[in-house]
Structure 1
């Protein structure tokens, strides 16, 4: 716990050093991209990636990070009953714990959870500047855990000399939200601080149609802070912190569907942050970045008010990355990392070296190759590699492809946890690391003077030694294979009207031929965006999710229609609202867990 206090103190100290008298400051126009660990334009990235900005998130009315990533082709979202229920993200049929989650470049996956996954339910969009989803094996770029892909979340920074914003919101199920932020910036640095909160009576986590009537509430408070100090010789120090404290009522085990009403609650605290020094040398040709990052998750569980068990896990990361711009056609990224992971009284560590070389053999083509060596304190050395290429035969065409390897070590939980209901009474010390190989190839085509664009990607991924929970015991599954097609497109009929569509076909099977659980073969969404003026905008979204296999039964396919809109009452005040599940569709995302029927919320935003 002392590390947490030290990191928190250091971040707040950096932020507190910033000047309080501000003038105009130029915005940072560089588009940083997780797909290459280099500042790269989207058109030059060979990997399959989806990205969304804060402005797009606002326009579409997304309220949580889970809502955001659900729109991306190849991504499957599952949540246990909505309103704070555990939210997981699967990429291309991989397990949710095979998705690495980064917040401002810092891994935040929970080391104390069984598979080392991440719960997306508590990340609201008020602090998000951008989300990037990088699909397929990414261990060479980002290390262990990134077998399925990477979800990279960038939090907001100050973008104006002085700004104050606030919002209040009320909605169905006695749901209330609110938040405020202040931003300051000048030629010396910048600062942004924000606080938000939410409370709701919620719905029954266990499906009400199965006789479960008790509502399960959720309360959440979030603090976010970002600071920047400019130093001589174009150097700079940045610091960021994100803290969440939440309380969730949920339901217990039931024989029929796996869940039923129960008086159980959880209290969770999550903290992540970093301090980073950026030091350019040789007139900016060599950029040196030194990052110290930290994240932790503390979970406490209660039954009828009495504490039953608790978990604590943290990650401490030291990273150096050098970026060498040799010339206009050759770039190199290289670096080293040390990451220590703790869960309870156990810990492990990984030391890593990586290098990526990018070359432009011609003006309209980019090729990159990367190698990474990870030395795990328990499982020894593992080498992964990655290749990607993109070719633009014409301004309207883009052909891209990538091949990569993945590596994920068993978690501390899987190796050491005590299983009271199993004849095998401790974690499985004989587990092997998961390894994976994947490739994808795709084409994008712009048409009608770039008013429209359509992209199609084919992917295939094979994972060996996947770790599954089988009969009260964690075991390596021989092999899991997934393949599929992703389609994403958009068309602007006019400056006021646009249409977006995405579709995924995912065929994910284990070695015995059975389908991967909680992965639909077919899913997608269609969206109509209407912005007839600068003061009015709206979006209508239809989502489809195909049938999913589950331990207790099948989750039936479903369709849901949502609508959101906003209207600027003045230059400083904006009215907004959302209606979800307009046709009151009865559906589930996880077998046995309910979802809200038709619900609505309305709010006001103030900007000064």
Structure 2
């Protein structure tokens, strides 16, 4: 498939370059523009860039009854969600794990801990009540977002008071002692608007020690000045306590222990005071008809403590420096300070340059205590500096064609007792050609580079000699409008990763292995059957290969070869709306060789079985200010494993209501 893919891309590019008018001609082209908080930006908008991007609006979020980011993303083609032992909802995008994915909120990178320490991001910790739009980029992204996201990007735009005036109260409760509530209020005028949002969440969880409680607060303030400029302030804070799931032996249903890991043999652990905060200030101005720019300064903090009760341990596993008679604790703190400058300059009707630079300074520290004493510890401190420089040309040779070409240089400096420096120069190119009103072709190529994290370099299993992971990404796609009621999209993609960073178990050191290869196809159809009935279906085929520590190859961990999502939405009388969706995933590899868990588990489990689940939501709009809904997830109570030894939730029922004022 590799040679065919290259051939297809070459043929498509040759065809595009031979199209009449696709030269540096003088044909006049209307200016492409979009609105960023009232300031017109002349750079090419993301929806025109047309890599494979899935867009989820606030209306989609409400229609799904989504409570968090994981719920909002569950129908996106190419996205595979699964629940892990840290009681976190994580995802793979086209076979690449979440650690290879960047998440932005209003243009600011969040969760730097994932890129610095290798920690797991939990999508459940992103509430959606203040989200206006989510964009999932699955192809080579514009260089302004960085070229260190091998898997893709999730771009979140929050609500502002101008478009979301008034207040809203939401309450939802149901299975497993779940009770969530949020309140928001927005308002303002052309010169100033504001939006504030806060809430709390609680659930006992569907497994032992899977409880969670969280509080959060977000705000967004916008000022518009007379000189075509805006000032935007965003801020947020959350505090979460949650237990970590207990692994279950599928043969007998009993809890098991691991021989390896951070605290091998401890069966009861939890995160306490997982605090996150983000502050950002952005100034944007249109200088004249040719030039605009924006400056962002931001700060992101994250800290948590992992606690484990030594009294609840498996005596078959020898203690390794921790107490078996009291609680043990380990702490992580991370602070990111950053500044970015981006500008757009319109050279002429054909070319618009986007250029920029950024500087990130990340301090990361972890507790260092031989006895893991929660009240007597010292810190191991590290620093990671990141620099980025990029330029991109948005070329509009004619009304049918858009070409973007960009190049970016990234530098990373990680300091412990010594400094490890890495750098990379990566290009991206995207060509979009509108054949006619119903068909749009696209092709893209990009290089990406993921630098080793602090934990991979200097952690317990660290290796300061690690090389960056490098990847080449290719994509070709066609978007087709069959008629006014039916649209379709197909994308063929591949991703070749070199010097993959890997460790066989948590007790083994990290090292670079040869490669990982990802090939795939995405298909998507959306159909409006009648004024009352809509439907969708999407399918993803993945062919992934990774090299294990012993040199053998296998499908990448937890990546299914086949994924289906489908759904129908029916608008009935008296304000009722019915939404039925389904999700299918084929077998997934685990890379389990039986060495990581205790002898109580007699068998190895190289794969997890396929599963098919269905969800139902019934919603009634009483009037323009009130609605209620019932959501039933996993209607038929299907039993399956999200990850090895971690069963998925069974049938859950949630009842919620919204009131606007």
TM-score when scaled to structure 1? 0.87
- The residue aligned with 2:631 is 578
- The residue aligned with 1:540 is 580
- The residue aligned with 1:208 is none
1:163 aligns with 2:163: no
For residue 62 of structure 1, give the secondary structure of its aligned residue in structure 2: coil
How far has the Cα of 1:418 moved from its partner? 2.4
- The residue aligned with 2:372 is none
Distance in structure 1 (CA, Å) of the matches to 2:164 and 2:525:
37
- The residue aligned with 1:152 is 155
Distance in structure 2 (CA, Å) of the matches to 1:394 and 1:229:
41
How far has the Cα of 1:606 moved from its partner? 0.7
The within-5 A match list for 1:349-428 is 349-377=385-413, 378-419=420-461, 427-428=462-463
- The residue aligned with 2:17 is none
- The residue aligned with 1:309 is 330
1:595 aligns with 2:655: no
- The residue aligned with 1:516 is 556
- The residue aligned with 1:424 is none
Distance in structure 2 (CA, Å) of the matches to 1:29 and 1:576:
35
RMSD between superposed Cα atoms in Å = 2.3
How far has the Cα of 1:243 moved from its partner? 1.6
Aligned residues: 557
Relative to structure 1, is the Cα distance of residues 393 and 495 closer, same or farther in structure 2, using a 3 angstrom cutoff?
same
Deviations 1:279-336 (A, max 9, x none): 11014x3111000122222111112383410111122221000012334432211011
How far has the Cα of 1:103 moved from its partner? 1.4
Distance in structure 1 (CA, Å) of the matches to 2:77 and 2:244:
30
- The residue aligned with 2:493 is 459
The within-5 A match list for 1:328-367 is 328-344=349-365, 345-367=381-403
Distance in structure 2 (CA, Å) of the matches to 1:160 and 1:433:
43
Structure 1 gap ranges (5+) = 1-27, 205-213, 420-426
Relative to structure 1, is the Cα distance of residues 567 and 37 closer, same or farther in structure 2, using a 3 angstrom cutoff?
farther
- The residue aligned with 2:525 is 489
How far has the Cα of 1:540 moved from its partner? 0.6
How far has the Cα of 1:446 moved from its partner? 0.7
How far has the Cα of 1:482 moved from its partner? 0.5
Distance in structure 2 (CA, Å) of the matches to 1:402 and 1:37:
22
1:549 aligns with 2:589: yes
How far has the Cα of 1:252 moved from its partner? 5.2
- The residue aligned with 1:52 is 56
The within-5 A match list for 1:290-301 is 290-301=295-306
Q: Is 1:111–1:412's contact at 8 Å kept on the other side of the alignment? A: no
Structure 2 gap ranges (5+) = 1-32, 250-254, 259-264, 310-325, 366-380, 414-419, 593-604
For residue 141 of structure 1, give the secondary structure of its aligned residue in structure 2: helix
The structure showing larger relative contact order (alpha-carbon pairs under 8 Å, at least 6 residues apart) is 1
For residue 62 of structure 2, give the secondary structure of its aligned residue in structure 1: helix
Task: State which of 220, 233, 238 in structure 1 corresponds to 2:227.
Answer: 233
How far has the Cα of 1:93 moved from its partner? 1.1
Relative to structure 1, is the Cα distance of residues 414 and 349 closer, same or farther in structure 2, using a 3 angstrom cutoff?
same
For residue 482 of structure 1, give the secondary structure of its aligned residue in structure 2: strand
- The residue aligned with 2:281 is 275
Q: Is 1:106–1:272's contact at 8 Å kept on the other side of the alignment? A: no
Deviations 1:377-424 (A, max 9, x none): 2334310000001111110101111100001110111111124xxxxx
Deviations 1:80-134 (A, max 9, x none): 27xx821222111123211111111111134266425532121122121111111
Relative to structure 1, is the Cα distance of residues 281 and 90 closer, same or farther in structure 2, using a 3 angstrom cutoff?
same
Q: Is 2:209–2:245's contact at 8 Å kept on the other side of the alignment? A: no
1:224 aligns with 2:218: yes
1:480 aligns with 2:516: yes
Distance in structure 2 (CA, Å) of the matches to 1:245 and 1:221:
6
For residue 600 of structure 1, give the secondary structure of its aligned residue in structure 2: strand
For residue 233 of structure 1, give the secondary structure of its aligned residue in structure 2: coil
Q: Is 1:525–1:541's contact at 8 Å kept on the other side of the alignment? A: yes
Q: Which moved more, 1:248-257 or 1:227-236?
A: 248-257
Deviations 1:510-566 (A, max 9, x none): 244311111111112101011246833221101001111113322211011001132
How far has the Cα of 1:454 moved from its partner? 0.9
How far has the Cα of 1:375 moved from its partner? 2.4
Distance in structure 2 (CA, Å) of the matches to 1:123 and 1:354:
30
Q: Is 1:137–1:148's contact at 8 Å kept on the other side of the alignment? A: no
Q: Is 1:106–1:273's contact at 8 Å kept on the other side of the alignment? A: no
Q: Is 1:201–1:218's contact at 8 Å kept on the other side of the alignment? A: yes
Q: Is 1:482–1:508's contact at 8 Å kept on the other side of the alignment? A: yes
Distance in structure 1 (CA, Å) of the matches to 2:561 and 2:42:
32
- The residue aligned with 2:183 is 180
Relative to structure 1, is the Cα distance of residues 353 and 362 closer, same or farther in structure 2, using a 3 angstrom cutoff?
same
TM-score when scaled to structure 2? 0.80
Q: Runs of 4+ in structure 1 displaced over 4 angstroms?
A: 252-261
